[in-house]
Amino acid sequence: MEAIRLGADSLEVEYKDGHEQAYAVKDGIGYGIASLRSSTTQATSLRDELRGITRRSRRLTVGEYEYELRSHVYDSFGEDAFRVDLRRLSSRRP
């Protein structure tokens, strides 16, 4: 939700130095929004959720808009990294 509020068109999550680093990306420029120690249950849960979105897209409502989230896994120096495309679908109905 933070990435959407910042106007990002995607979210990237990569492993670096024992942490999962999250970046809101707009027009190819990333802005760091979160860092979770990789060994925590929060980081494990995040990776599991991102893998789930890779298999099946999700919808999320933020404010008055609905978004479709699609995740892609890619290799980043031997570690799984994720890019989540944030596509605005429409405004919510009253």
Complete domains list, the chain, with CATH: 2-91 (3.30.450.90)
User: How far apart, in Å, do the first and last CA atoms of the chain sit?
Assistant: 21
90 CB burial (10 A radius; 0-12, 13-18, 19+):
exposed
Band of pLDDT at residue 94, cut at 50, 70 and 90: low
CB 12 within 8 A of CB 77: no
Predicted TM-score (pTM) of this structure: 0.85
List, for residues 8-41, the tens digit of each pLDDT value.
999 999 999 999 999 999 999 999 999 999 999 9
Enumerate residues 6+ apart whose C-beta is below 8 A from 2: 24, 33, 34
